[in-house]
Structure 1
Amino acid sequence: MTSNLDPAIAARLKRGADGLVPAIAQQYDTGEVLMLGWMDDEALHRTLTTGRCTYWSRSRQEYWVKGDTSGHVQHVKSVALDCDADTVLVKVDQVGAACHTGDRTCFDADVLDLGK
């Protein structure tokens, strides 16, 4: 698929073999890590230009805009690449649950024991 992503940004991205980069969604004001999704160049372009997080669904093989079905929208506040340009951090204002299970974050339900 052809993407409209700025060529300067596209040239910097280090994608996996599947053409995707992990995208971490973080609540902009609390620092709460909400979820991890996947983006290709076009999903990143749409996220940057629409103000709504767009991800690539690996299972459905299609784009999805967070909240279009659930109403649990992510309003984009900022987007950054990590130092290796292989991960995207999207700071958002999350409306409702970020997790498809209905939890506030995808990391609430299964906290692992540190074995201390």
Structure 2
Amino acid sequence: MSESITFGERQDKKAVEEKPIFAPKFDEHGLIPCVAMDAETKEPLMLAYMNEQSLKMTLELGEVVYYSRSRQEIWHKGATSGHTQKVVEIRTDCDQDAVIVYVDQQGAGACHTGRNSCFYRKVDLEAGKAPAGLAFTEDLTFDPDAVYKK
């Protein structure tokens, strides 16, 4: 990884909120939440985390790179499946402790379950029963067993 990309210093609140300098705030584990959204439809695709290295790699490569909390390693989205995410735009919130990456999703989908989005279910707000129910909002777009050779 190139050392050319750096982030700004986190100064006072006003500077973080108003200066045109990217100064991401990573949590106590060195992570920042990242929502990937389809650049065309604006639909959410997935939520994952980045560390400083993966965020810099994302900026350098133009493809999204996450940090896998379960595997404790850098995760270049699509390295196994071929379903990469091309960066279209990156936004940060007011205090720069979360990012949204608008992506051009390559391949059949973003979710390891075989769907376009990891957000393929919605909470049934009408049910009023315990436990709360879920309804599926999309079908499989690829066979995850074939793609990931489980």
**Structure 2 portions without partners, runs of 5+:** 11-22, 129-150
For residue 70 of structure 2, what is the aligned residue in structure 1? 59
Greater Rg over alpha carbons, structure: 2
**Residue 102 (str. 1) matches residue 114 (str. 2):** yes
Which consecutive segments of 4 or more residues in structure 1 shift more than 6 A? none
Distance 2:41 2:112 in 1: 21
Q: Count matched residues.
A: 112
Alignment pair present for 1:40 and 2:51: yes
C-alpha distance after superposition, 1:51-102 (max 9, x if no partner) = 1100000111110111110111101111111112110111100022111101
**Gap regions ≥5 residues in structure 1:** none
In the alignment, is the contact (CA less than 8 A) between 1:66 and 1:74 conserved in 2?
yes
Deviation at 1:26, TM superposition (A): 0.5
Find out whether 1:6 has 2:6 as its counterpart: yes
Q: Percentage identity across aligned positions? A: 45
Report the TM-score when normalising by structure 1: 0.89
CA–CA distance in structure 2, aligned partners of residues 113 and 15 of structure 1: 34
- What's the RMSD between the two structures over aligned residues? 1.6
User: Counterparts of 1:97 and 1:47 in 2: how far apart (Å)?
Assistant: 19
